[in-house]
Amino acid sequence: MDQLIDEIRQAQRITVLTGAGVSTASGIPDFRSSNGIWTEDGSREYYMSSDYFRHDPQDFWTKYKDIFQLKLLGSYHPNEVHRFLSNLETLGKEVTVITQNVDGLHQRAGSSKVIEYHGSLTTSTCPACGSIYDADYINSSQVPICERETCQTVLKPDIVLFGDAITEHDRAEAIIDKADLVLVLGTSLLVMPFNFLPEYAWTRKIPTALINREATPKDRLFHYVIHNDLIDVIQHFEDQIIKNQPLK
């Protein structure tokens, strides 16, 4: 852990990959292990797919709001991990967060460079005219519809649905190319193609570090591996890195 602290201190450009373990520390459930329709074999892929959205957008929105608990989105707040990554920027470091999470908490914590690899729950877009609507509008009706009189199309959530293409992978690799250090926080690295990113960093001979409660199938790709509670580790980093250095 002390060696990794030194790596973070020395690195100017840090790329951080974050997963569900960062959001669960804010009380947001890991949807893949929560109760209900999300855990039924095959159901989540079927109902949360672009095909089902096109087939029955009204029922899609009913299930989407239930699964992702959109009404509760505003009640969640950034935690120590989000704030630590934002605070690294106050030290003059260039920090880019590439997150699997769709809750927008990294931005709310103050991180200025965030790539939402799987999209965002906080907005939806009209497939016809491209108008973008925020969470308040999305929650104002059971099935959100574009308010333009000439449009009136059912909105599509700005998350990556099953069947949608991942559009941010090449951009994520380009960010990793410029990094002095790649930190991976709170992810089991089971979801493709996100889990290819640490391997890309390894092939580019960039120092890599993983902090996760449990071992992952990709542990071998990291120079530093810490299996521990993420909040406990980050609080230690905060004490050693942020509080012991002057702001720039």
Task: Report the alpha-carbon distance of residue 177 to residue 174 in Å, rounded.
Answer: 5
Q: What is the mean pLDDT of residues 45-67?
A: 90
Q: Is residue 21 part of a domain?
A: yes
The order of strands in the sheet holding 208-212 is 114-116, 94-99, 13-18, 181-185, 208-212, 224-227
Task: Say yes or no: 69 and 42 in one domain.
Answer: yes
Task: Say yes or no: 151 and 68 in one domain.
Answer: yes
Task: Report the alpha-carbon distance of residue 236 to residue 215 in Å, rounded.
Answer: 21
Task: Say yes or no: 90 and 37 in one domain.
Answer: no
Q: Is residue 55 part of a domain?
A: yes
What is the total count of domains within the chain?
2
Mean pLDDT taken over the chain: 89
For 93-150, the DSSP string reads -EEEEEES--S-HHHHHT-S-EEETTEEEEEEE-TTT--EEEHHHHHTSSS-B---TT
Q: Which domain holds residue 99?
A: 2-28+78-118+166-242
Q: Is residue 248 part of a domain?
A: no
247 confidence band (pLDDT: 50, 70, 90) = very low
Task: Say yes or no: 105 and 128 in one domain.
Answer: no
Is-contact 22 230, C-beta < 8 A? yes
Which among 110, 141, 159 is the end of a domain? 159
Can 118 be counted among the known catalytic residues? Answer: yes
Task: Say yes or no: 19 and 128 in one domain.
Answer: no
In the chain the first and final C-alpha atoms are separated, in Å, by 25
Collapsing DSSP states into helix, strand and coil, what is residue 244? coil
Handedness of CA 223, 98, 191, 228 (dihedral sign): positive
What's the pLDDT tens digit per position in 147-194? Answer: 988 889 999 999 999 999 999 999 999 999 999 999 999 999 999 999
> Is 129 annotated as contributing to ligand binding?
yes
Task: Say yes or no: 65 and 132 in one domain.
Answer: yes
For 111-125, the DSSP string reads -S-EEETTEEEEEEE
Task: Say yes or no: 194 and 179 in one domain.
Answer: yes
Which among 159, 185, 217 is the end of a domain? 159
> Is 83 annotated as contributing to ligand binding?
no
CATH number, domain of 49, equals 3.30.1600.10
Task: Say yes or no: 105 and 185 in one domain.
Answer: yes
> Is 126 annotated as contributing to ligand binding?
yes
Task: Report the alpha-carbon distance of residue 93 to residue 97 in Å, rounded.
Answer: 12
Instruction: State residue 168's pLDDT score.
Output: 96
Task: Report the alpha-carbon distance of residue 191 to residue 214 in Å, rounded.
Answer: 15
Please, which contacts does 130-133 make with residues 24 or more away whose CB atoms are closer than 8 Å?
Answer: 132/158
Task: Say yes or no: 10 and 101 in one domain.
Answer: yes
Q: Is residue 196 part of a domain?
A: yes
User: Model pTM?
Assistant: 0.89
From the candidates 118, 169, 223, 236, give the one annotated as an active-site residue: 118
Task: Say yes or no: 128 and 195 in one domain.
Answer: no
Task: Say yes or no: 64 and 184 in one domain.
Answer: no
